[in-house]
Amino acid sequence: MNRPPGARSIDEILAEARSRLARLTPAEAHAAPDALLVDIRPAAQRAEEGEIEGALIVERNHLEWRFDPQSDARLPEAAGYGVRVVVFCSEGYTSSLAAAALQDLGLSRATDVDGGFRAWKAAGLPCTGGARPASG
C-alpha cells in the first residue's frame, strides 16, 4: 500500500510528540510540587487498574477544551498557559500525544509520565482501587 504524500505513521507522530516533551519518571511526577496530575484514561480502565490519589480526571476526548485558557469549557485548574500539566494514560503512549496537543495550545510545560499509570503503580506510588485478581 502506498502512503499518500504527507501521511505519517503513528510511530512517527509519537516520536515527534515525544521529541518536544520533558517526560517524567513516576517518582519525578510524584515529587513535583507544582505538577497538576491529569489522568486521561477512560472510566473502564480506571476501574480495572486503579487511580492515582489526587489526580484530576479528564478523559482524553475532553482534554483540550478543559485546558485551553481561551475555552469557555476550561477547568478552574486551567489558570493560564504556565500550568504544569502532567498527563497519565495506562502505559504512556496516548499521554504523549495528549501532552503534545496541550503544548500546541500554548501550555509549554505540559508533559507526560514515561510508562504511564502502570509504571506509577509498579513504583509503589499512591493509588487507589483497581480490580482485584480472582482468587482460586
For residue 56, being part of any structural domain is answered with: yes
Q: What is the band of 82 on the pLDDT scale with cuts at 50, 70, 90?
A: very high
**pLDDT at 41 (0 to 100):** 97
Q: What's the rounded Cα separation, in Å, for the pair 62 and 74?
A: 10
Domain that holds residue 66: 12-123
Overall number of domains in the chain: 1
For residue 87, being part of any structural domain is answered with: yes
The secondary element (H helix, E strand) that includes residue 111 is: strand 111-112
For residue 60, being part of any structural domain is answered with: yes
Q: Is the pLDDT of residue 134 over 50?
A: no
Residue 67 belongs to a domain with what CATH number? 3.40.250.10
> pTM for this one?
0.89
DSSP 135: P
Beta-carbon contacts of 42 under 8 Å, excluding residues fewer than 6 positions away, are 59, 60
Partner residues linked to 36 by β-bridges: 85
For residue 93, being part of any structural domain is answered with: yes
Q: What's the rounded Cα separation, in Å, for the pair 35 and 16?
A: 23
For residue 1, being part of any structural domain is answered with: no
For residue 16, being part of any structural domain is answered with: yes
